[in-house]
Amino acid sequence: MKRVAVLMVWLWPTCSITWAQQPVVAEHAMVVSAREEASAIGAEILRKGGNAFDAMVATELALAVAYPYAGNIGGGGFMVYRKADGETGALDYREKAPMGATKDMYLDDSGHVIPGLSTEGALAVGVPGTVAGVFAVHERFGKLPMQDIMAPVIALAEKGVVVTAGQEKQLSTYREAIIKISGSATGLAKVYHQGDTIRYPALANTLRRILRNGRDEFYKGETARSIAGFIQKNGGIITLEDLGRYEVRWRRPVFFDYKDLRIISMSPPSSGGITLAQIMTMIAPYPLSRYGHNSQATIQVLTEAERRAYADRNYFLGDPDFTVIPYATLLSKNYLRRRMKSFSPDKATPSSTVSHGQVTISESNETTHYSIVDQDGNAVAVTTTLNGAFGSKLYSDELGFFFNNEMDDFSAKPGEPNSYGLIGAEANSIAPQKRMLSSMTPTIVEKQGRLFMVLGTPGGSTIITSVLQVILNVREFGMNIQEAVNAPRFHHQWLPDEVLFEPGKFPQHILQSLTGKGYHVNEQSAPVIGKVDAILINSQGKREGGADCRGDDKAVGY
Ligand code: DON
């Protein structure tokens, strides 16, 4: 089987020991996101009397301005919500394959995957869902007029955003890749340094047109015509009809219990909720708090559950509108306990005996997650993405934004790894109008029937295991929410058969002992695993924000 080159780019500092280990605490409401500017705009909407859904619209669009690395209007995402009255639901605004897409569109005549075709440039772009997503949220749940919500975002795009050290690194790391696809004249291809201000006048104009004409501006109006023309001129296949046909889907989230917690997470076409449910159900019988945080025994139990869950993920999961998913079996306690029967603490279970296939991992890419709780107790968890860093690297100077490369989340060929080393099966093969399988895991946790945690993260295939570890850090290991998001993480995904560890964060004797038991320890490939933004409701009902120290992330509340 073909091996994929390992390309890891260290874009985030690891957390220094001086990093705050105490959460930001707010009386009423809180937004935690990847950029302070976006959290502040979301929090301002809440302060003005908007609800969590208004703040979702504002934060999502503000991230498209302040965090073009992953924030977007050229991509898509998922929202899980829990209203103050306990009503829950989920919105799928994932991208869709264009109507001209075919199962073999990324293969050459001999049936081999053509490198780069599903990851760079116009052919990698799925029909974007973000604008439809925010309008659907606003229409169903919004309180404030769209004008009030979008005005500060448009003002931010005009005034500009100051480049952080992290953003300087992102832009310089991907400058060549952006130039290769979008040309050196493109705005974001310039050299920027920390402290510079980047203004986004073209994006401000696009947003202004969307505000004036509504959702259809992006899908049927002048903007739609510009998108279709631009994509086709660059060799892509998205048509005006594809845009016109795009629709979001309201979905029933995945629900499951872990001890005294009830967890509400994203359903297919994300694998997040089901895979998280499988892992947590498999590990529930083991006394993790007695084993200890990141102890060898804990690492083994989590790794073995992850191995079994990801094997199922890759085989069974895909767009539920196209694929029959055996939900009941995949989530059944009996089935999951049986899956763990082959686990022995003495020895790693080789992934080849859990299923078949040989692959390697994984490019470092980006997505972004934000968590919001408002003054009434409404909560939203949203993960949104362009897939790769700056998506397909295709940037429209006229419209002012990057397009996604989400098509790479499909299985271009059954058994071949995508850029996260994830291999897929028929369930996730490409078909016109189909949604590609995701790992995004926006999650809400209830305790004793009340809102307890809101969380999620970027990180491709490591999203699910990062969300898992943060919940366990709070529930099993007694951490506050800031400690829980900062704590070192590890990851396993069945294939490749290796366990990734954040480097230098785990005692060597544990890693050596794991190696002795047959685990393939890898401290090289993942300098950072996930970038979790979370809120916890404490016993006094206050909102505690945990913004991951691995990025520029920030909690803003009042
Ligand atoms: O939907 C997915 O699972 C991926 N497109 C997410 C990409 C991602 O998290 C990149 N971030 N590191």
Kindly state whether residues 244 and 274 are assigned to the same domain: no
* pLDDT greater than 60 at residue 93: yes
Average pLDDT over residues 386-411: 97
Q: Which of 3-17, 81-95, 290-304 has the lowest mean pLDDT?
A: 3-17
Measured CA to CA, the distance from residue 433 to residue 413 in angstroms comes to 18
Rounded alpha-carbon distances, angstroms, from residue 159 to 48, 66, 70, 228, 537: 21, 11, 20, 29, 34
Query: Could you tell me if the CB of 460 is within 6 A of ligand 1?
Result: yes
Give the domain extent around 226: 39-77+94-250+394-408
9 in any annotated domain: no
* pLDDT greater than 50 at residue 362: no
540 in any annotated domain: yes
35 closest CA partner among 3, 58, 14: 58
Index of the ligand 1 atom closest to the CA of residue 439: 3
Of 367, 368, 384, 462, the catalytic one is 367
> Given pLDDT bands bounded at 50, 70 and 90, which one contains residue 363?
very low
The answer to whether 244 and 224 are in contact (CB under 8 A) is yes
Distance in Å, CA 285 to ligand 1 centroid: 30
28 in any annotated domain: no
Distance in Å, CA 270 to ligand 1 centroid: 11
Query: Could you tell me if the CB of 72 is within 6 A of ligand 1?
Result: no
User: For the domain that residue 496 is a member of, what is the CATH number?
Assistant: 3.60.20.40
Kindly state whether residues 170 and 53 are assigned to the same domain: yes
Mutate to test the pocket of ligand 1, among 72, 385, 402, 464 (most ligand atoms within 8 A of CB): 385
Kindly state whether residues 280 and 234 are assigned to the same domain: no
330 in any annotated domain: yes
Measured CA to CA, the distance from residue 557 to residue 126 in angstroms comes to 35
DSSP class per residue in 51-72: -HHHHHHHHHHHHHHH-TTT--
> Given pLDDT bands bounded at 50, 70 and 90, which one contains residue 417?
confident
Index of the ligand 1 atom closest to the CA of residue 436: 1
Kindly state whether residues 335 and 482 are assigned to the same domain: yes
Active-site annotation holds for 367: yes
DSSP class per residue in 506-550: S-HHHHHHHHHTT--EESSS-S-----EEEEE-TTS-EEEEE-TT
Phi first, then psi, for residue 369 (nearest 5°) are -125, 145
pLDDT score at 7: 33
Average pLDDT over residues 351-375: 70
Average pLDDT over residues 210-231: 98
16 in any annotated domain: no
Index of the ligand 1 atom closest to the CA of residue 364: 12
Kindly state whether residues 73 and 167 are assigned to the same domain: yes
Phi first, then psi, for residue 332 (nearest 5°) are -80, 135
Mutate to test the pocket of ligand 1, among 403, 408, 440 (most ligand atoms within 8 A of CB): 440
357 in any annotated domain: yes
Q: Domain tally for the chain?
A: 2
Please indicate if the annotation marks 94 as binding a ligand: yes
pLDDT score at 9: 41
pTM: 0.95
Query: Could you tell me if the CB of 439 is within 6 A of ligand 1?
Result: yes
pLDDT score at 199: 98
Atom 11, ligand 1: residue with shortest CA distance: 366
Kindly state whether residues 243 and 272 are assigned to the same domain: no
Query: Could you tell me if the CB of 385 is within 6 A of ligand 1?
Result: yes
* pLDDT greater than 80 at residue 171: yes
Measured CA to CA, the distance from residue 119 to residue 187 in angstroms comes to 21
431 in any annotated domain: no
pLDDT score at 174: 96
Index of the ligand 1 atom closest to the CA of residue 409: 5
Kindly state whether residues 62 and 209 are assigned to the same domain: yes
The answer to whether 417 and 493 are in contact (CB under 8 A) is no
Kindly state whether residues 274 and 242 are assigned to the same domain: no
Measured CA to CA, the distance from residue 30 to residue 544 in angstroms comes to 8
Distance in Å, CA 441 to ligand 1 centroid: 10
